[in-house]
Amino acid sequence: MLALIAALLLLLPPPGVAFAAATATIAAYALLHATIAPEPVKIQDPCKPRNVPSAGGITGFLQGQALKLLDSTACRLHASREELVLALADPQDRERFKERHGVDVRSLSSVLGSLISG
């Protein structure tokens, strides 16, 4: 057993070489991230007009109307469409939205009040 440990110690590179390899790996990852990472998504203002994806048929029509409704509701609540959708889907995001905007988006009275006020 002792011989195996001694053999492994002989095979391992000196600490300086290992440190240089680790540093080079980190630098390579940073360089790759800077050159090939996707652009961050820009959150658009829901109060400004924007194009909805063009999809045909009844499902395309319903998708377009749903996106317009999300935009108009988010605009009235001074939030982004994405923030509103996350609040509808996730309990933690719902609480965060409620703290930030004072509206519980899962409450029917809050949603109806928002739709009627605009």
pLDDT of residue 83: 93
Going by C-alpha positions, the residue among 101, 108, 55, 99 that lies closest to residue 78 is 101
What's the pTM? 0.58
Q: Is the pLDDT of residue 117 over 60?
A: no
Q: Is the pLDDT of residue 116 over 90?
A: no
d(CA 42, CA 26): 28
pLDDT of residue 115: 58
pLDDT band at 114 (very low <50, low <70, confident <90, very high): low
The predicted-structure confidence for 44-88, as pLDDT tens digits, reads as follows: 899 998 887 777 888 888 888 888 888 988 898 899 999 999 998
